[in-house]
Structure 1
Amino acid sequence: MFVITADQRDSRSGDDLVPKAIDDVVRLAGIRATSTPERTAGDELQVADRDADAVLAIVLHLTRLGTWSVGVGIGAVEAPLPASVRAGRGEAFVYARDAVERAKRTPTRLAVTGSDEAATDAEALVRLMVELRDRRTAEGWEVYDLLADGMSQRDAAKRLGITEGAVSLRAKAAGLRAEEGALPALGRVLAGADKPDGDGDGDGAA
């Protein structure tokens, strides 16, 4: 099981971002979400999920915002998972607490904690992706968002009022193809980290 604990950065000097972030997490987790995200303490939110791809999407979204420190715990939880994620217990919850505290001290605002080297590998690779995205310019993100919405490069060029060649250059500079190619592999790495015993589960009793 994956448990994400995210803590709002500089929350005392800004607006409460938890409600909007919870809405975003619900959208990204989709209908197969294992738990409903909730505010835990203060300006923190927490969610548990079995889907590595959904977890990766949530992590990349929250780190893109720059307003969250994001910790991912990977491990067993006590089953059945309670209706409220705040009442959840197990090593994944403990690891998520460790991870979010470490995330607060890292430039990528992200940490992943688990019981073995698979979690360490996942952390290193996801951090590389976050660093790639952190270098992306506003213009690169414009193209990213339009293409992510299903637009072709031609349509994106029309929307932005630039040439199709300029869109291609922006996409290249933003590393969009590199990200697109790496995401499935990152999802598999995360999924593998949730199966340290090769039992295909990872969310059994702690």
Structure 2
Amino acid sequence: MYVVTADQRDSRSNADLVPAAIAHVSNRGGTGLTLSPERTAGDEIQFAIADAQALLAIVLDLTRTGTWSVGVGAGGIESPLPTSVRAARGEAFLNARDAVDRAKKAPTRVAITASHGGDDAEALVRLLIELRDRRSPEGWEVYDLLAAGHSQRESAARLGITQGAVSLRAKAAALRAEEAAVPALERVLERLDAPFDESAGPG
């Protein structure tokens, strides 16, 4: 299981973003959510999720804005599960607390703590976020249109530029690199939630 604790950055000088974040996570997480997102302490939100694909999508969404420090904890959760995430306990929650504390000090605003494999997952997710942080507003325009299912031709028409210009923007934004990295990262995250066999050899 994965637990995410996200803390709003500079919350004292900015508007309260918690309600919007809760709505976004609820929509993005869908049926993969085990415990729905709630405000836990101050400007923090927390939720539990079982789906690595949805987890990564949410982490990328929250870190894109630059307004959240995101900690991901992998591990067990005590059963039976309560109805509220604030009443839940377990290793995943302890790991998420460790992770969000470290995320607050990280330039990429994310950290991952797990009993095994967390360091590798964290390094790779941070690498992708560093790539995304370098993306220009024009690159994000193309990203959002393609992510919404539009073709390059349709995106060009919507942006009022040529298809070749869209292709150049996509290249500069490293969209193909992200497209290839995301499935690999999902598999890395899935392994954090798998039983660890200490007797298994490398690979």
Task: State the secondary structure of the residue aligned to 2:34.
Answer: coil
Alpha-carbon shift at residue 81 of structure 1 (Å):
1.8
| 1:109 match | 109
Structure 1 residue 79, shift from structure 2 partner? 1.5
Q: Which shifted more, 11-20 or 23-32? A: 23-32
Partner of 1:11: 11
Match of 1:203 in 2: none
Q: CA deviation at 1:194?
A: 1.2
SS at match of 1:36: strand
Q: CA RMSD in A?
A: 0.8
Please say if 1:151 is aligned against 2:154.
Answer: no
For residue 35 of structure 1, give the secondary structure of its aligned residue in structure 2.
strand
Q: Using the TM superposition, give the Cα deviation of residue 195 of structure 1 relative to its aligned residue in structure 2, in angstroms.
A: 1.2
User: Paired residue for 2:128?
Assistant: 129
**Cα deviations across residues 107-134 of structure 1 (Å, max 9, x unaligned)?**
0000000112x11110000000100100
- Report the Cα distance in structure 1 between the residues aligned to 2:192 and 2:93, rounded to whole angstroms: 15
1:30 aligns with 2:30: yes
Cα distance in 2 between the residues matched to 1:196 and 1:67: 34
| 2:71–2:101 contact (8 Å) kept in structure 1 | yes
Could you tell me which residue of structure 2 aligns to residue 41 of structure 1? 41
- Greater RCO, CA 8 A, separation 6+: 1
- Report what 2:20 is aligned to: 20
How far residue 63 of structure 1 moved from its aligned partner, in angstroms, is 0.1
Structure 1 residue ranges (4+ consecutive) displaced by more than 6 angstroms after TM superposition? none
- Alpha-carbon deviation of 1:196? 3.8
Which runs of 5 or more residues in structure 1 are unaligned?
A: 199-206
Amino acid at match of 1:6: A
Identity within the alignment, %: 69
Q: Which residue of structure 2 aligns with residue 187 of structure 1? A: 186
**AA at the equivalent of 1:39:** R
Give the partner amino acid of 1:152.
S
TM-score, scaled relative to structure 2: 0.95
